[in-house]
Structure 1
């Protein structure tokens, strides 16, 4: 067996374990934090090595790994398609504010939001605190109403939804970390889901028992949030838009829990490798913030906006159009 074939075989075994265990076995959560591009870079490098050494088995294994792990690599082939020029529609801005405006200038915080004049804002982390420690509820409602007098305000589950469209009912907490708000739009009711899935790990000694206990606890919390979200989506008769911080890259199997009725909107983004995190670094890493839409909701434009150091997450800026219910039922 040639060295190229041996390495390709080893990667094949690893990829098989990853696809089988990812999102199903909690210890694999640490492995799934690998950078998504590796699932394209490694097979391509193996393919090149196999070609150089004229190893047919190695090339076959590398090509198979590239195809089998394609969904894990975070590449957006939709960026290669011709983009839509239509900009009219409902503009939605979704953003993990990273503990609201804690430790920063409130005026800069609100100026950034106003620089993205949206019909609907889905804002996460309406709280103060610090990683791995205590968090505190906050009350910025008075300023929110003053800054956005033409919007309806819904607050729950540490999430803020601001909308120019009136709500069709009271806000609905989904799980412990997300918020559903049904809106009366010109084409009928649109359900918006303001999502924040808990992070996977706490930074601590990875060889300690506490690390593994914490990872298992967080895995359970993440599953509960995904289960609550999926159950609500499947029972919802209205068209929907789901957006927020999923703390889930393309390489983390938890994202596969989203129902088939929820379509990833990334094809409307113009970046071949879209990244929403880390916003404070020159080199963006990968996407952990997502937008999903149902039938009857079409994403016309989708971009990530730099918050200028206000958060470690870029803001998601989406323009959608909706289809009237009567047309959907024809």
Structure 2
């Protein structure tokens, strides 16, 4: 192989390793790295995977350096890629519960703002969920702000006999008795549901989450872009800290779920997974993808996590009939579980 080509491969491998090391140091520590971490998570593995074989066949005295650099990039990238090769062959948990609940979690993308409420409500009813956790119960002002709406009359007509709670830009709808519990976090709605079972009534908390997005859609050539990134990074920091406090104060079974606007490439993903057991890890999901639901599903920004004995029997992600850019998270959770074993 010609020396210029080998030099180019070495430079690319070195750059890949340097970026991986900078990511290790700056991701989650410097507000501007939120912009860098918007990189598609699969790219963190794809690029070093392409460079590694090229480094192996390259000539020149620096081939070992290129190989090591590409391996550093590959290992570091895998940690942030959202790919879970351990899911291959993973069997489902075998559970015996007193009661199962069907839960659906969905970011509605500004609550039918761009369309007819008829198909929107027909879709909500078709989900046939015991508990329905919805985000973005508001309209977008297209300037980085949003406007609160009041659609409670239509909600109660669409879901007769259900308990409907709306606050903080979220809605939770329950077939079972439910009550609103205040939270410290600003964009979080906690609803406690009473679930009857043979051994008595179980209290389960459903924590409906929408973490602010990292950027405002304005030109990066304008100062407002960087002011918004800094402000939103601070807001996200406050929200994650408050959410951790809210969740940590609950000692009974709970589900924390919603749109975290956090991909696996972001250090904030560690904050997400610290909230509970990742529902996707209960299934053989090598690469969960919840966004973009209208086109090619690229990566994951919607999560569901359980704590304090609430078990996930089923978990999946499905498109939303073109009504939103987010997939619907479908879960079946077990309440009052007495026995658990694993196979696979």
Q: So what's the TM-score if we normalise by structure 2?
A: 0.87
Cα deviation, 1:44-65, whole Å, max 9, x if unaligned, reads 1121112222733332332233
After superposition, residues 288-303 of structure 1 pair within 5 angstroms as 288-303=301-316
Other-structure match for 1:17: 22
Cα deviation, 1:200-227, whole Å, max 9, x if unaligned, reads 1111121222111111011111111111
8 Å CA contact retained: 1:174, 1:180: no
After superposition, residues 47-86 of structure 1 pair within 5 angstroms as 47-53=52-58, 55-77=63-85, 79-84=87-92
The answer to whether the aligner puts 1:213 opposite 2:227 as a matched pair is yes
Shift of 1:261: 5.2
Other-structure match for 2:264: 250
8 Å CA contact retained: 1:157, 1:173: no
Other-structure match for 1:196: 210
Question: Structure 2: any 5+ residue segments left out of the alignment?
Answer: none
Aligned with 1:120 (options 97, 109, 131): 131
Aligned with 1:308 (options 295, 303, 321): 321
Other-structure match for 1:272: 286
Cα deviation, 1:261-283, whole Å, max 9, x if unaligned, reads 512222235543222111222x1
- Considering fraction of residues, name the structure with more strand: 2
Aligned residues: 325
Whole-Å Cα distance in 1 between the matches of residues 323 and 266 of structure 2? 26
| Bigger Rg over Cα | 2
Helix, strand or coil for the counterpart of 1:65?
A: helix
Whole-Å Cα distance in 1 between the matches of residues 122 and 211 of structure 2? 27
Other-structure match for 1:241: 255
Cα deviation, 1:47-104, whole Å, max 9, x if unaligned, reads 1112222733332332233223323112133542245397982111000111112231
Whole-Å Cα distance in 1 between the matches of residues 275 and 217 of structure 2? 35
Q: So what's the TM-score if we normalise by structure 1?
A: 0.90
Question: Structure 1: any 5+ residue segments left out of the alignment?
Answer: none
